[in-house]
Amino acid sequence: MKYVLVINPGSTSTKIAIYSTESVEIHTEVVEHNAEELKKFDHIIEQADIRREAIIGSLREKGIKKEDLAAVVGRGGLLKPIKGGTYLVDRDMINDLEMAVQGEHASNLGPILAKEIADEAGVNAYIVDPVSCDEMDDLARFTGIRGEERGSLAHYLNIKGVTRRICRLKGYDFYEDNFIVAHLGGGF
C-alpha cells in the first residue's frame, strides 16, 4: 500500500498524518518537541533536522518505510503572495522560505521537511493553499491610510477546507456562492 504523508509544523510540535492514496486516514500524531531544545536555535529554519528525525522515527514506529510513500504534503509557509491551489515544492520556494521573505514562522518548515523526505523517498512534495494565498479583491486592500495596502496572510487551507466541507453537507456551490468565514484558531 502507498501512503501520503502530511506535515504541519507548529511552534513546539509537528503534527503528522498518514493517508492512503484513497484519502483514508491511517494515522495522526502530534510530535512534541522539547521547548528548551528549540530555543537553542536562532532561526526556526534551523530546527529542520530534529523535526525531520522525529517524523522519520514516527513513520518507522508505524512500520512505514520511505519507499511506501506516494507523496509528501507540507503546510505552506510564509511565501510570496500566490493564488490558492496545490503547488509542487521546488528550489525557488525553498529559497524564499530560507530567506524568510514574509517572515519567520514554524510553517516555513512544512515545505522544507516535505521536500527533504520526498526526495529521500523518490516522490514529489506539495503544499496546498498556503497562508500566503492572495485572492483578495482590490477593494479589500484599502486601509484608509494613503500608500498603505492591506496584505493577505491567513489560514487559507483551514478556511477553504471547512468551507468545502459545509458546501458538500449543505449543497452550496463553493465557486458560485459567497461565504463569510472566520478562522478562530485553537484559543476558542
User: How confident is the model over 124-139, as pLDDT tens digits?
Assistant: 999 998 888 888 888 8
Residue 138's CB: how many other CB atoms inside 10 A?
7
Residue 141's CB: how many other CB atoms inside 10 A?
13
Where are the chain's structural domains? 3-128, 138-187
- In the CATH hierarchy, which fold is given to the domain comprising 3-128? Nucleotidyltransferase; domain 5 (3.30.420)
Characterize the bridge pairing of strands 25-32 and 86-88: unpaired
Whether 82 contacts 132, CB under 8 Å:
yes
pTM: 0.86
Closest to 66 measured CA to CA, from 13, 14, 116, 7: 116
The contacts of residue 95 (CB under 8 Å, 6+ apart) are: none
How is residue 22 written as a grid cell? 484513497
Question: What's the pLDDT tens digit per position in 68-117?
Answer: 999 999 999 999 989 989 999 999 999 999 999 899 999 999 999 999 99
